[in-house]
Amino acid sequence: MTKKETKGRASYAGALLICRNLARLTVYEMVGDQILIPDNGDNQSSTLQSLILMPGVQLASDEMVRGIAKLGTTAIGVRCLRSRDDQRIADFAVLFAANGNAERFAAMRAWIDRDGGLYLIPEDTSEAGSACFKFDRGLHIAKQPWADEADRRRGLAEAMVLLLAEGTDQRPS
């Protein structure tokens, strides 16, 4: 096996770990490796939306955008990247469908609030109007959830630890 193949398999395994932990941190459960469905174990309303996960995929093609728009659902590309100092990073791309259209949001990072609410926020917040998303009975557009830069860094660090944790079986309390 080549070094590139080994790296690709490790990246895909990291993306699957992130997907499993994402399900544990939200009101979802994994079906196979690519779908999050509502976890009805705690008798929640059936208004929860299923989400399509695509581990190891960047969600870059226009065909994917058109397909998600037709389905009227949300797809999340989940990748496990490496930083310059060789730390694992959970990277998300969102194809968000609404009103028969879909938009692509790339380079999203997980952020967790002090109450355990999970968000996807843009890696680069310098662009005005950057969208944030909250996992809440689906993935919904949300206002900026952090109070200041220190709160933003805290939430990013905590979410990264939870998403990359090996063998965790519990949601945060």
The larger pLDDT score, comparing residue 115 to residue 73, is at 115
d(CA 20, CA 25): 9
pLDDT for 19-52, tens place per residue? 889 888 887 777 766 666 666 555 444 445 778 8
Residue 46: per-residue pLDDT: 46
Q: Is the pLDDT of residue 108 over 90?
A: yes
Residue 76: closest CA among 23, 129, 7: 23
Name the nearest CA neighbour of 119 among 102, 101, 140, 103. Answer: 140
The string of DSSP codes covering the chain is --HHHHHHHHHHHHHHHHHHHHHHHTTEEEETTTEEEE-GGG---TTPPPEEEEET-----HHHHHHHHHHT-EEEEEEEEE-TTS-EEEEEEEEEEETTEEEEEEEEEEEE-TTS-EEEEES---STT--EEEESSSEEEE----SSHHHHHHHHHHHHHHHT-TT------
**Total count of residues recorded for the chain:** 173
Q: Flag whether pLDDT at 98 surpasses 70.
A: yes
Extract the tokens encoding 85.
């100092």
Greatest mean pLDDT among 82-86, 102-106, 111-115: 111-115
> 111-134, pLDDT tens digit by residue?
999 999 999 999 987 766 689 999
The predicted structure's pLDDT at residue 48: 54
Main-chain dihedrals φ then ψ at residue 43, nearest 5 degrees:
50, 40
Please give the mean pLDDT across all residues of the chain.
83
Phi, psi for residue 157 in degrees, rounded to 5? -65, -45
